Amino acid sequence: METENHLLNELSDDELTSLAKRQLPHVTLAFEELVKRHENKVYAICLRYFGCPETAEEVSQETFIRVFQQLINFRGDSQFSTWLYRIALNLCHTVAQKKSFVNSEPLENYSDDIQLSEEFTCDDEEQCVQYCINQQNEQEKAMISMRFNTELSLQEIADILDIKLSATKMRLYRAMESFKTLYEKYCT
């Protein structure tokens, strides 16, 4: 068993995807290796999108459930990671729309930590950054998350969003400008 796991570790995502398609649903070793490789990046996308660890965990799990169910339909036109991150991002959008997501925790949980007013101020850098990201629209959140949390290249982001590289650059620029404006307003 340990030898099999070591061998799987040496396979590329394309090779693992092909193997998982042949093995599933009865044998999950190759799929489990794909999850291990990508679970942290998927979680990072979801966490930056929502700012709530519990929701990020739920959406991450749902992402891998959908991948498990749909892997047989993956054609390989793009990299597995591109397909996976697109599924994660789509789920983030869907969950946000269903919940009209602002934050899943009651405001009382933050009343001691955050001054909740129009003049939001914060001394904790990480909390302030997340607050600014939460103020952005869905597209801006997604761009910031993919670029800085998962460290995807601009071309990978373009592939995930199925847009041109120039459009990706412009969207990222706008998202960063929006973030900068919010950061200067609330965090300095």
Q: pLDDT (tens digit, 9 = 90+) per residue, 145-169?
A: 888 877 789 999 999 888 999 999 9
- Sequence ranges of the domains in the chain: 2-186
Residues of the chain with pLDDT under 50: 1, 3, 101-118
| CB distance 60 to 43 below 8 Å | yes
Predicted pLDDT of residue 4:
58
How many C-beta atoms surround the C-beta of residue 130 within 10 A?
Answer: 18
Three-state SS annotation for 61-112: HHHHHHHHHHHHHCCCCCCHHHHHHHHHHHHHHHHHHHHCCCCCCCHHHHCC
Q: How far apart are CA 115 and CA 103, in angstroms?
A: 15
Model confidence, pTM: 0.69
Predicted pLDDT of residue 118:
47
Q: Which fold has domain 2-186?
A: Rna Polymerase Sigma Factor; Chain: A (1.10.1740)
Predicted pLDDT of residue 100:
63
